[in-house]
Structure 1
């Protein structure tokens, strides 16, 4: 894909949020677009956001569980960037109107204490680099009309990144087996899903390793202090103004997101 086309598509996606209106799938206008093209489109938008004053605070792995791949109709993980304006405080109203088609999903967030630079990162490296984990709720959103996304569309759309709410109880990896960590997800006080860490590529740690080794060859390092979202333990659920979402992750604690207008 030519650089001018990459910029054109990136501008169209940026305009979707500015106007508050989803846009047609990227793959409709660019049927020959590849995964590599999609990441170039994503990077163009990230550059724009950083130029506007945002700070890269971490990364997310998307579509890491079978449940999410089946829900979205794709067959591989992807990654996106987490910017400083995506982070929301627990129990503080999140402006739901700032999103187009928001959904929410529970994740175990890694907070890094050391840099991870791929390729060649192992599980041992990832464990050593992790300072602690916290329960998290990720808001995913799509600038593609009706969530009709291919893998190219979601990657170009920054892996459908929208927002993050982090819990406040840090836990060392040595104190928990993330594969066996269970999760219950409540929406409006009603239990809507259950899941476990093993649903995320066998272990959320594997998702962290995948991410480091995928972005490393592109010149991207995972830095100390970065928040890494490894993927959802359940399918994603639509949210609207007035909703309260609570995820309980046992020994990891819980996390609550409240949506305002």
Structure 2
């Protein structure tokens, strides 16, 4: 990832301290205090610099980037945090699960689940206008997906700076098996229902994700390129929640059904992290 420290108003020492605090929380499994005391609530350059440094640590330890996730796509959540734009985080290979898998409950700190559409890219999004037409052409297919968000920050006490620094609260993701092109399913028209242990807990539509999940990818493509790490062919993009996220407990099973894209399910075992 690119180094954005030169753009941040927080000092390099404060950025390094935020990195150390979040890394310790991740390694110990004990959530930490927010990092906004170090990098501010809304200093995006500082927050993405922390995220980039943590990404470099993951890569140095052998992790592989599989894509990106978009967060804060809901207007209600944006209002709650006092922001007017989404954020993004990095997806790694050890975050990926498939439909029907069981995820050890201790694998994710303070897990919350949301349903969304995931896209697989068939071409890079590095050059050109990165407009809607180009992004649509770059998408190979979409699938139903569950994102398990996790916060390394205690009690989810987050500002925009906290969640961006904490890799946009990325934890894990589960992809469905029914792949469809944009010619087969129009993302903005998708309707979603999500249940936990058979009880409906969240509903929404494609229009609830920045007006259209494809437009969320347009935003991401431009932002990622501006930060020096454009989207690449073969990457997965989690385009953002279609409805409210919900907390999940060990022993629970979560299923989301998205019209035209089928269902996707994940269980949460009683075991600790692997």
How has the CA–CA distance of structure 1 residues 72 and 87 changed in structure 2, closer, same or farther, with 3 Å as cutoff?
farther
Paired with 1:32 and 1:197, the residues of 2 have a C-alpha distance of 29
Q: Which residue of 1 aligns with 2:229?
A: 220
Conserved 8 A contact 1:247-1:254: yes
Please say if 1:210 is aligned against 2:219. yes
TM-superposed CA distance for 1:33, in Å, is 6.4
Q: TM-score, normalised by structure 2?
A: 0.91
CA distance in 1, matches of 2:197, 2:52: 36
**Deviation beyond 6 Å, 4+ runs, structure 1:** none
Give RMSD over aligned pairs. 1.5
Written as runs of structure 1 = structure 2, the 5 A alignment for 1:42-53 is 42-53=51-62
Question: Which of 141, 164, 183 lines up with 2:192 in the alignment?
Answer: 183
In structure 2, what is the Cα distance between the partners aligned to 1:250 and 1:31? Answer: 40
1:131 aligns with one of 125, 132, 140: 140
Shift of 1:73: 5.8
Judge which range, 230-239 or 28-37, deviates more.
Answer: 28-37
Stretches of structure 1 lacking an aligned partner (at least 5 in a row): none
Secondary structure, aligned partner of 1:175: coil
2:169 is aligned, of 157, 160, 163, to 160
TM (normalized to structure 1)?
Answer: 0.96
Any gaps of 5 or more consecutive residues in structure 2? Answer: 1-9
- How many residues of Structure 1 are paired with residues of Structure 2 in the alignment? 261
Counterpart residue number, 1:96: 105
Moved more, 69-78 or 56-65: 69-78
What is the alpha-carbon distance in structure 2 between the residues aligned to residue 80 and residue 55 of structure 1?
14
- 2:16 maps to 1:7: yes
